[in-house]
Chains A and B, each alone.
Chain A
Amino acid sequence: MTDGTASRYPGYNVLSKRDGPSWDEVTRQVIDRRLNVPREPRFLDPERFRTLKAVCGRILPQPPERPDVPLAAHVDAKLFDNALDGYRHADLPPLREAWLRGLAALDAEAHAAHGRAFADLAYRQQDTLLRRCEAGELSHPAWDGMPPASFFSQRVLADIVAAYYAHPSAWSEIGYGGPASPRGYVRMGANRRDPWEASEARPGRERTALKENRRVR
């Protein structure tokens, strides 16, 4: 939920439609389960999970005015379920192995460069390491043949970002309508907003947007 007038969609919360005609029973079940994802890791060990949390914090830093989306927990759930994507690049090991090796390698790189765990580095140092990973500039033996750039694009970015934009908090943040069955939408033209869509706080209409967003059901 966003309440501050600094938000692009002040007061808009996609969950306010939960019991209205835009959500059906199966959608409520699916989203309820997502909101109640186990916060403790079920696949990763505590050390790897700590590294993952730090990585998530840099890939998608979250606003302070609302509870964080537990991104590391969602990635761990994907690993726990071994939820495959349906393909993998030939230079990458399977999903679980890629994450286990990649998180260990990021930590090994942090120790080699700064003498501390990745999670204990300053944000700036973490970002630098992640950028070097993205650019394929890391070469610690812990990568064991897995190209850091592929790990970054195919696993780090793909899995963490997908977890974030699967969450209602992210939908509210970007003004996305969210679930829409069975009601759907009516107004299809440009600058046409159905009353159950997010209202944007363009300069000069922040209060109107707030009022409209509070009426979204």
Chain B
Amino acid sequence: MYADEPMRPRTMQGRAPDVFTRGGWIPMQLRSDGEEVDFVVIGTGAGGGPLTARLAEKGFSVVAFDAGPYFRPLEEFASDEASQSKLFWTDERIVDGANPLKMGANNSGKAVGGSTVHFAMVSLRFRPEWFRSRTLLGYGADWPLDWREMWTYYAQAEQDLSISGPLSYPWGPKRPRYPYRAHEVNAAGLLLAKGAEAMGYRWSPTPLATVSAPRGNSPPCVYRGFCRVGCSTNAKQSQLVTYIPRAVRAGAEIRDLAMVGRIEVDATGRATGVHYHRDGVWRFQRARNVVVAGYAIETPRLLLNSATDRFPDGLANSSGLVGRYLMTQSNQAVWGEMEEEVRWNKGPPSLALTEHWNYDDRKDFFGGYCWMGQGPLPIEWSSVLTGARGLWGEALRRQMENYNHQIGLKMVGEMLPHLDNRVTLSEEHDQYGLPIPRITYSWTDNDKALIDHGLAQMRTSLELVGARNIFLQKDDTNHLAGTARMGFSRETSVVDADCRSWDIPNLFVCDGSVFPTTGGVNPHLTITAIALRTADRIEALAKRGEL
């Protein structure tokens, strides 16, 4: 496929692409629009992927929609930053506020498998206290989930994704052995380790969702380093090569290139199905239950755009909180140069990390953060130099020539939920005729204090390993959460602990939007664990006739 050839849906004829063979297919059960299926799931990423697989495996009829294409990585993922932007959500979004978010390549996927197709594979558990951060740590909001229950779902997710991790993980309560051995740590990661040790902090090889030994049709990672623009060998355990094939085998239908624009609600206030745009026409799929799993921008956008006379402010929004408490994570970095050749592009970008400041509370702000080694490819690296240092002209070209000597540390930090950080609908419309989302974000004073602390710590670490020409990248953020938070009551949250909306009993939200707080680690494993739990809860509710 070439970038300028418009793609057509691939799963219309009772088959889905076999991601493990070139040009291959696997059989897939088709459902008609008129059939009232048990579940429609909107989005196939870290939340929608596992939920679709588990619901299908439990015997429910499921149709999962994704707005993006259904790729075969072996033949369609080039070793190339620019052309692989086809994996990102590049439809227009308007960003504003005091600290506008970077979207697109930064945090959004538009493909079957969602952004797990291009994420950095970092697979971390929350610190247990974060599930009760209001009660135990004095900030944010408590989750209606118990960390001990989450611990069992984290373990299930780690098994399902064959996480490669260390023999023992230095932080938090005991956890089971990682299914696959840790990856070899590259030069960039070893420099993180050396710096952490010099500061008296523990470090660890990063638990990663890319296999260190063969698994089924996935070969071990070959350390090509293009993880963040799609894995061409299928070593990466994205949803596309794990839960999605499981879902299809269990009887789910995956509808690719199908953009859901509106959820229909009947006179009794129950969802009846979804309007979706595919192959040039709008269609309607009937469903007994609807699950929204579009992540923190598309989920509130869809709920808001589905407003009716009965629900004039959008669906599931009696609290007024749909679209609110949007969170990102601080992703500031410190960069420097080493005398030796580091060649940081070899291997997954974040092979080592320290979670020290997620578990040490001796600081004068709320929340925690970790930091990780880095290995940006040339386009991304050049954008750091233009963005953070304002380099261009000869100065930029000369600095870029040091590429093989650069090192960097990047934090993933907890930003606090704030009512005014939010997603709304703008006046502009996209290619489907749907209102473009407007994303408003401003850092709080606490966020700024956390960022300053992290930058100073990472700077010290680089100084202690002898890095030169150190500079700070102060503006970056990554990962999203919030906008449909879970909670204990219909007044203060959008969904309950089972991800079920308070207002519409057969409408669920299952993605990072349900996070009341975002923690200081990458969100993917927590989203997946919540999806696995939600599938079990739905099964239990169905058995009791409460669905």
Contact = CB atoms under 8 A, between A and B. Distances in A.
A171 to B, nearest CB: 6
A181 B383 contact: no
Contacts of B226: 180-181
A180 B225 contact: yes
B90 A85 contact: yes
Interface residues of B, number: 71
Contacts of B387: 153, 157
A201 B105 CA distance: 34
A134 B390 contact: yes
B105 A185 contact: no
Contact of B223 (A176, A185, A197): A185
Interface stretch (A28-36, A43-51, A107-115, A138-146): A28-36
Interface in A191-217: 191-193, 197-198, 200
Main secondary structure of the interface of A (DSSP, over half): loop
7 contacts: A27-B80, A81-B4, A87-B95, A88-B92, A165-B378, A174-B401, A190-B338
A193 B393 CA distance: 29
Nearest to B80: A30
A161 interface: yes
Given A59-B396, A185-B225, 11 more contacts: A86-B93, A86-B104, A87-B102, A89-B96, A90-B96, A157-B386, A162-B382, A182-B222, A184-B224, A188-B184, A193-B341
B102 A190 contact: no
A117 to B, nearest CB: 21
Given A26-B77, A87-B103, A185-B224, A190 B403 contact: no
B152 interface: no
A25 B75 contact: yes
Interface string B101-132: 11111001000000000000000000000000
Main secondary structure of the interface of B (DSSP, over half): loop
Interface centre among B93, B381, B387, B404 (most CB of A within 10 A): B404
B94 interface: yes
Interface string B379-416: 10111001100101110110011011000000000000
A116 interface: no
Closest 5 CB pairs of A and B: A86-B104, A184-B222, A179-B79, A87-B103, A90-B96
Contacts of B233: 181-182, 184
A185 B89 contact: no
Contacts of A158: 383, 386
Nearest to B351: A188
Contacts of A184: 221-225, 233
A53 to B, nearest CB: 16
B350 to A, nearest CB: 14
A175 interface: yes
A34 B85 CA distance: 14
Contacts of B386: 153, 157-158, 161
Contacts of A88: 92-95
A213 to B, nearest CB: 13
Contact of B392 (A81, A157, A190): A157
Interface string B212-227: 0000000001111110
B9 interface: no
A67 interface: no
A86 B105 contact: yes
B40 interface: no
B2 A61 contact: no
Nearest to B187: A190
B90 A181 contact: no
B382 A165 contact: yes
A76 interface: no
A24 B230 CA distance: 14
A108 B228 CA distance: 41
A86 B91 contact: yes
A60 B392 contact: yes
A44 to B, nearest CB: 18
Contacts of A164: 382
Contacts of A31: 78, 80
Interface in B63-88: 75-83, 85, 88
B210 to A, nearest CB: 12
Interface string A69-83: 000000000000101
Contacts of B81: 166
